[in-house]
Structure 1
Amino acid sequence: MELVVGASNTTMRSLLGKLGGLLAQEYALMSGVRGDVQYINDELASMQAFLRDLSTAPDRHDNRLKDWMKQIRDMGYDIEDCIDDFAHRIPRDPSSDFKCLFIRTRFYELRTWWPRRNIASKIAELKVRAQQIGKRRRRYGVDNPINLNNGPLVRAVTYEIAEHQLTGHQLIVTKEPVGVTADMKKLEDWLDLDKPVEMCDKERIVLSIAGFGGVGKTTIAMALYQNARDKFDCRASVTVSQNYDQGAVLRMILKQVKPHESDPNIEGRSHSELMEELKTYLAEKRYLLLIDDIWSAQTWENIRKCLPHNDKKGSRVIVTTRFQAVGSAACSRRAEINFLHSVDFLSDEESKKLFDQSVSESNNNIGSEKELPPEDVWKICRGLPLAIVTMAGIVASNPRKSIKDWKEACNSLFPELMPSLTLDGVTRILDYCYNDLPADLRTCSLYLSIFPKGSKISRKRFTRRLIAEGFVSEKQGLSDEEVAETYFNQLIKRKIIRPVEHSSNGKIKSFQVHDMVLEYIVSKSSEENFITVVGGHWLVPMPTNKIRRLSVQSSGSEHGNSTKHMNLSQVRSLTMFRSLDQLHFHSFNNGILQVLDLEGCKGLKEKHLNDMCRMLVLKYLSLRQTDISKIPSKIAKLEYLETLDLRETNVTELPKSAGQLKRIINIFGGNKSSRKGLKLPQEVLSCFASLHL
C-alpha cells in the first residue's frame, strides 16, 4: 500500500479528543458555533473510520485517493492548530463557581468576546472546508477502500501487560557478523591487530569496504573498529552519506580524537581552521578513522585533504561505500598497500543461519517449537542481511500465519524470477514490513526520522517524546509510559531498530536505525508531511505546504539558511542538532509549539530562554548538554510543561517560580563532569504532586 495512514489516524484521534473537550466547555463557544463544532466533530469521526479502513485495505491506491487523504490530513492539522492556539487565550469558564454565577458569567463573556469571536470565524471556515472536501470526493469519484476481513494486514493488535513485562528487559549480546568469518580474519590481519606497533607498516593505509546497500558493510567496519580501537592513540567514527556538511564532519572527528580537550569555540571555526587543527593534531598520532557511507570520489578527496599528508605512525582509515568506483578511488593512491574489499551476499547456509538467529532473538528464544515458515521467506532475500533480518522480524511478529500465507506473501512480493536482489526489491520488502505494522507502530516508526543517520538514540528520550506528541495514551490497564515502552519493544522485535547499549538493569539504553531503513522512513515521513528534515543525510524535497514537525539536522554554511524561506508558523514540534545561530524563535507560533528539543545545541543564549518562556503550551523542553547556567523565573508561564531536561548543563538550581508548573512530571538535572546536582527549593518540591525524580 502506497498511502501512509498511521500518522494521520493518530492525529485524527487526538483531534477528536480536543473537539470533545471544546464542546464540553459551556461558555467557551459563541452562540451558533456549537453546531459547527459538532458538525466538524462528526465529519472527522467518519473520516477517521475511513482512515482505519485504509490501513486494512490490501489494494494499492490511486493518486485521487492519495490527494483526498492529504486534504483530510491538512484540514485536521489546521483544526488542531485553531483549537490549541485559542485554548490558552480563553480562561476556564466560571460554571464551577456558583457564587454570583450570573455576574461572573457576564464578565467572562465580555472578557473573552474577542478570542471567542475569532475562533467562531475560523470554525465556520473549517466547516465549509470540511463540506467541500466531502463534495470533492464524490465529484471526482474517490471510491471507498475494499476491506477484506481475511487480508494479511487485518488483525486485532493487543499489547498485554505480560508481553510488556517479558520484553521490557533484554540483554544485548555482541555477536560477530554472520557469514564473514573469513573476511574478518583477512581484514584484522590488514589492521595488524596482533602485531606490536613497531612491526606495523609505518604508512597510513586505507581500507575500502564496498557493497550493495544492506549487505553488511557498516556492520563489518564497526566490528573491525571496535576490535582495533585500543591499538591506536586516537580514533573517530563518522557518517557522511549523500548530503553532508564537511565542517560538521571535521568537528565530529575532532571531538572524538580529542575527547578530553573540550573547545567551546569549535562551532564557530571556519573550514580552513578546522582542517589545519585536525592535520596538526593527527600529525604525531597513530590514528584509526572510520568514514562510513561515502557517496562520491570527490567526497573522499575532500576528506583526505584534511588528513596529514605524511604519516609515519601506521595509521589506518576504513571507508565504506555502496559504489565500487568510489571504493577504488579511495585506494588508488597507494594501491600496493591500500586494500579494496567487496562484501558479497550471503550463501544459502549463511542466510538460513542469520534468519533463524534473528527470529529466535525476536522471540526471546521462546517458541522455537512453533512451525517455521517455508524457505521461500529467507530465500527471496537473495542473501542480503538487511532483508533477511527484516523478514525475520515480520515472521516473529506473525506467529499465527500459516505456511500457505507465507508462500502467498512471497509470491505477491516477487511474482517474477529474480536472480539477485535490486534496490527495488529491497524497497518492496521494506514496504511489506511497514504495511504489516499496526497504525500506532507506523506512527512510532515515522517518528524515527526526527533523528540523524547513524546517531545513537536514547530509548527514554524517544518514548517520552512520543508521549509529549500525543502519539501514546493509556490502554488496557497500562500507563502511557508502559504503552510507549511496549511500542518500543515491538519496534525492536520487528528489527526496525536495533539496540546498541543497555543499562545495568538489563533494559535497552540506546538504539540505532539501519541506514537504508531510516532512508525509507524519511521518505515516507516526507510523503505524508509528517516530519520535515532540514540538512539531513539525504536529499529530501522541501515541503510545499505547512510544516508541522521540524528536525534541523545540520547548521553548517551549506545548510544553515535552509529554514530562511520556510513558513514556520504551524510548527508544533522542533528538534535542533548542533547550533542555534541560524534559527529565530520569533518565526514560530508560541500558541501551538508543544515539543522543543535542543539537546546538544550550541549558541543557546538568554534571549532564547526568554523566547521559550512565551511558548505557552510547551509540554516537552530539553536543554540537555547546552551551555545554559540559569533558568529564568518566567518559566512559570509554561503551565502545560510535563518534562524538563537540564542534565549536563551548568544549571544548579531552579527558580522558586517553578513551583507554579502544576503539570510537571519529569525533571532531570545534574552534571556528571562537574559533579553538581540540581537543587530544588523546598517550596518548589511541595508544589509538585506527580513529579518523577
Structure 2
Amino acid sequence: MVEGLQISISRVSKRSWEIWWERPYPGGTCIFPKGQRISSKRLTRRWIAEGFVAEKQGLSVEDVADTYFSHLIRRKIIRPVEHGSNGKVKKCIVHDMVLEHIVAKASEENFITVIGGNWLMQLPSSKVRRLSLQESDSKRANDTEKMNLFHVRSLTMFGSLNQLPSHSFKFGIVQVLDLEGCIGFKAHHTEEICKMLLLKYLSLRRTDTKQLPKAIGKLQNLETLDIRETNVVELPKTVCLLERLVNILGGDKRTRRALKLPEELNKKKKMKALRILSGIQIVGGLADLHHLTELRKLAIYKLSTMSDDPSFKDLSSSIEYLGGYSLHTLIIDDESSKFINSLDDLSSPPKFLVALELSGKMVQLPGWITQLSALTKLTLSVTALRTDNLLLLSKLEALFSLTFSFRAEKQDSETLTILAENKLCSDGEITIPDAGFKSLKLLRFFAPLLPVLTFSKNAMPELERLELRFSMLEGLYGVENLAGLKVVHLTLKDKDGEYMTKEVQHEVETAVKRRTDGKAPKIILDQ
C-alpha cells in the first residue's frame, strides 16, 4: 500500500503538480495540523472566501467548490474519514506523505507559511500571504514577531490565542480569519477583528466568544459568519448592514441552543444574499422570510410561535414561498409541535428539498411528503414511527438515510402515550414494509424506548447500515431479511436494559447466521 502511495505521489508531483497549483485549493489543505480531521464545509467555504472558486456553467459557487473537493478525493490528495448521514464526505484527512509534498511546494511558492506544529518551515524572506499558527514554543513565537505580517490575507490559528503575535489583529487586508476551537478569546479580540474591513470569512466556532460588538456592521465584505458552539445567543442590529453576508452559522446542534436574530432583518428586508441561516430562533415578528429568495438552508433550533400569532402564518407562508426558489434543506425543532403538525396545510410544498428534519410530537406526516422526489435525508421524531408512515415513506425513491429520534433524555408521559397508541395502530409492533425504499442505505432509531421492530421479507434491499441507540429495546426481528446489510450498531444508554439488549443481540446474531448467502452483517454493541 505504501509503495502504491509513493507512486501516486510521484505521479502527482512529476506529471500534474503544476496543473494542480494553477488551482490553489490543494495548497489550502496544509493550513491544518498534521493528522487533523478537516471539515469539508470548512475547507470549501474558505476556498470561496479566498476567491479560489467561482460560479461557472450554471453551477453555484458552493456546487463548484464541492466538485473540486470531490476531485481531490478522486486524485487521492485527501482521504475521507467520516461520512454524513446524507452519504457525502463530512471530514477528510491528508495523508502524511502527501502533506509533506504539499507543504514543501507551498513553502517554495510562498503560498503559505506554517509556524509550529510538526513543521520546521523556513521563515519567509518576503511578505507572508497566508499564515497558519499551530501550537508552538516561545522561540517560534518570537520568530513570528520578526516577520512581515502586514500583507497576510489569511490567518488560521490552532491552540491558544496567547501565542498570537502582538500585531496579528492589525492586518488591514485579511480576508479569512479562522480561529475555530481556540482558547483564550477575550472581548478586545472581537473589537480588533471588526477593524479588518476586507474580511470575508470569520470563524469563531467553539471559542469563548460571548457577544459580538455593534462594530461588526463595519465588515461590509463579510460573507461567512460562523459562531456555532459559542456563548453568542443574539446578533446585534448592525449585522443587518452586511449586505454581502451569505452564511450565518449559529447555535448549538447538540444542545439546540439557538441564535436570536435582530428584528431589523424583517423590518428592513435586508441581507437578501443569505443562503444559509442555521441554528436560529424564530420568535414574534422574525418569521417573515419571503425576501430571502437565495436561501438554500433554513435550520430553526427554537420555534416560539402560536397558531393565533401572525408570525405562525408568516413562517408557513415563507416556507411555502422559498420552497419554490432555492430552499434545499429545512430543519425545524418545534417544542410545542403545533407548527410542524400544521405543515400538511401547505398548498404548495417545498418540492426541491434534499434534506428535511422535523422535531416535535408529530404523529401524522404531511400528505405532500411523497412528492419530495429529490429528498435524500429525512429525520423525524420517534412519535412518527408507525407502520402506515413507513409505508408512505417507502415511496421516496431517492431517500438515502432515514432517522427517527427523540432529543430529550427521558420521554415524557405524552410521548409514551403516543408510542403506545402507535403500537396499537400497528398490531403491537412496527413493521417495515416489503417493498420500496429503493435507495435507502442508512436507517437509524435514537430514543430511550424503542418498540418491537420487524423487517418484512425483501424489505429495504439496499440498506447497508442499521443503527439503534436506546435505553430499552423491546425487540428486533427480520434483520436476516435485509439482503445488503453490512453493519448493525446497537448502543445501550442505560444499564437497566442490559439483559434485554443482550437477548436481542443474541437473537439477531442467530438469525443472520441462517442466511444462505454467507454475508452476515457485523454486529456491534456499545454500552
Q: Provide TM-score, normalisation by structure 2.
A: 0.50
Structure ranking higher on relative contact order (CA contacts 8 Å, 6+ apart): 1
> Which structure has the bigger radius of gyration?
1
Where is the strand percentage greater, Structure 1 or Structure 2?
2
Where is the helix percentage greater, Structure 1 or Structure 2?
1
